């Protein structure tokens, strides 16, 4: 029986006629069943698609699902880094946490079925089909309805968003359509012992475009560089092209050695004293990770804290792009599980960065304050900096940080995950009797007075988003207030788009 349960194809009961009748018999609704999530029927009727609660109706017809033995089914496809490394461990931990065991079947070289079975009665609760392909292929399958969730190392591009709209798959650019599983980062890698201690984004662009070919040009030995990147079609490969090369109107040199696996890239770099690569923070291996340096003198290393807060400019979230429909209850539980301490431990054990909330007192942030003083321009004087330090005296910065597109108050996907994580902590009473200060900052573009106003507006937008998300908590037990300091404390140089994006933020400080 278990084998039969495992091999049954998904969604076989859908697209069949059903008749829904209210329990008192006064209302009847007929149509084609196009979905059932264990709680609600989704029926295509003469009035269009309708969603009806299963609790208030009886169902008749060949398409009616078994309410008592409903099995949640979902298909995931995309980046192998997620599909083969992160996802199986999260599924195992989720199942164990809910009294279930996982029976895994390899259906093809790159496709597995994870059957979640209740230990108490050996009944099947869910089937998760996971296909390891690529970020491109996962998004393509989502648009074509060949998968339900795309696993990707990048956001959907313009052509993919247009294709989704044309296929009646909704707007993939909406932050609600993305869920951040974990965090990683693109990092410059060199062999241990390499004397170069930091590189700028422009340095990296010129190196991998083939314009800088000798370490001597960067203060190193007189030796040619060996260049290593991930394959051009991979999520990290596309990220390098879009975030490092494209801003300087450059493309990758044909001399670049390409890798399918970030661990292989790191190994190749570590074994060659004259190699340089752009790899993954999570899989740096024995290679040395270099900080990023701006022309204004700021330097930012990739660390769990700087990646979690997006202070490091090449943070790379591991994403799920979701369907424009309601998913089964158990699947929604699985999505919420990503915010749990159990999931955080799995993510950290695998080398990725989780969203667990951490803190750092103001007294331990001397480098940030020194940078703020050094970068203060004509419109930011000592009085503004003194006001900033005075307002935050005795506080500690929490890791959730919220970032925006230029000139907007629209949160990105990683910030949306931070909203949810902070809201759940408020609901649990983690900050009862304390004060949370949402502190807005801007980049240095435009007038300082306008940036000050924009930073306050962004801080207020985040405060309202947190209040809305923490609807089940007692907000009378924690004080939420806002402050804005415009361009007074930059985290990165304003000379690049990446640096300006880092500076446009709202931080959370706890008193």
Average of pLDDT values for 469-484?
Answer: 87
Write down the pLDDT at residue 328. 84
Write down the pLDDT at residue 480. 92
Geometric angle at alpha carbon 114, from 113 and 119, rounded to 5°: 145
pLDDT band at 460 (very low <50, low <70, confident <90, very high): very high
Bridge-partner residues for 436, per DSSP?
Answer: 480, 510
pLDDT band at 501 (very low <50, low <70, confident <90, very high): confident
Write down the pLDDT at residue 83. 95
- Other C-beta atoms within 10 Å of 84: how many? 13
Bridge-partner residues for 184, per DSSP?
Answer: 316
Q: Cα separation of 278 and 232, whole Å?
A: 12
pLDDT band at 336 (very low <50, low <70, confident <90, very high): confident
Write down the pLDDT at residue 1. 37
234 Cβ partners below 8 Å, 6+ apart? 79, 134, 135, 153, 260
Write down the pLDDT at residue 405. 67
Is pLDDT larger for residue 17 or for residue 152?
152
Q: Cα separation of 220 and 215, whole Å?
A: 5
Would you say residue 350 has pLDDT above 80?
yes
Average of pLDDT values for 288-299?
Answer: 83
* Low-confidence winner among 69-78, 143-152, 242-251, 320-329 (lowest mean pLDDT): 320-329
Q: Cα separation of 446 and 486, whole Å?
A: 11
Average of pLDDT values for 330-355?
Answer: 91
- Among residues 37, 151, 56, 503, the alpha carbon closest in space to that of 296 is found at 503
Provide Rg for the chain, Cα atoms: 25
Would you say residue 160 has pLDDT above 70?
yes
**pTM for the full predicted model:** 0.79
What are the structure tokens assigned to 465, written together? 């988003």
Q: Please, what is the average pLDDT of the chain?
A: 86
Write down the pLDDT at residue 35. 75
Average of pLDDT values for 61-73?
Answer: 81
């Amino acid at each position: 029986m278990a084998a039969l349960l495992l091999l049954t194809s998904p969604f076989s009961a859908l697209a069949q006629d059903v008749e829904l009748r209210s329990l008192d018999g006064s209302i009847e609704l007929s149509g084609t069943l196009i979905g059932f999530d264990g709680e609600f029927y989704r029926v295509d009727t003469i009035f269009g698609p309708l969603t009806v609660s299963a609790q208030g109706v009886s169902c008749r017809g060949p398409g009616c699902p078994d309410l008592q033995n409903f099995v949640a089914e979902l298909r995931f496809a995309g980046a192998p880094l997620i599909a083969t490394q992160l996802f199986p461990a999260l599924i195992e931990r989720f199942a164990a946490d809910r009294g279930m065991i996982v029976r895994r079947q390899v259906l093809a070289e790159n496709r597995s079925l994870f059957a979640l079975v209740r230990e108490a009665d050996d009944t099947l609760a869910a089937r998760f089909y996971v296909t390891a392909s690529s970020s491109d292929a996962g998004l393509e399958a989502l648009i074509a309805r060949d998968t339900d969730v795309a696993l990707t190392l990048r956001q959907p591009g313009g052509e993919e968003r247009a294709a989704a709209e044309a296929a009646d798959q909704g707007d993939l650019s909406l932050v609600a359509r993305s869920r951040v599983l974990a965090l990683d980062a693109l990092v410059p890698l060199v062999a241990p012992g390499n004397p170069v201690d930091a590189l700028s984004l422009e340095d990296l662009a010129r190196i991998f475009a083939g314009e800088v070919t000798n370490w001597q040009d960067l203060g190193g030995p007189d030796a040619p560089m060996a260049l290593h990147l991930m394959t051009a079609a991979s999520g990290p490969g596309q990220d390098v092209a879009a975030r490092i090369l494209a801003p300087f109107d450059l493309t990758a040199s044909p001399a670049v050695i390409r890798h399918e696996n970030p661990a292989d890239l790191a190994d190749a770099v570590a074994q060659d004293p004259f190699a340089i690569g752009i790899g993954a923070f999570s899989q740096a291996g024995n290679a040395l990770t270099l900080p990023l340096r701006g022309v204004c003198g700021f330097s930012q290393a990739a660390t769990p804290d700087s990646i979690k807060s997006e202070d490091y400019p090449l943070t790379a979230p591991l994403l799920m792009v979701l369907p424009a429909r309601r998913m089964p209850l158990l699947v929604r539980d699985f999505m919420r599980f990503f915010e749990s301490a159990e999931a955080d431990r799995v993510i950290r054990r695998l080398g990725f960065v989780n969203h667990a909330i951490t803190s750092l007192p103001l007294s331990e942030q001397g480098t940030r304050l020194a940078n703020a003083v050094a970068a203060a321009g004509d419109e930011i004087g000592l009085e503004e900096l003194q006001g900033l330090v005075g307002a935050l005296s005795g506080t500690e910065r929490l890791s959730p940080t919220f970032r925006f597109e230029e000139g907007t108050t629209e949160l990105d996907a990683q910030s949306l995950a931070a909203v949810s994580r902070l809201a759940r902590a408020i609901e649990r009473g983690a900050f009862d009797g304390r004060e949370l200060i949402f502190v807005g900052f801007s980049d240095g573009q435009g007038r300082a007075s306008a940036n000050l106003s924009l930073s306050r507006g962004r801080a207020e937008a985040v405060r309202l988003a947190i209040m809305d998300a923490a609807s089940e908590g007692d907000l009378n037990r924690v004080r939420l207030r806002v402050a804005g300091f415009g361009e007074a404390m930059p985290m990165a140089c304003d000379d690049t788009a990446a640096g300006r994006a880092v500076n446009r933020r709202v931080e959370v400080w706890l008193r």
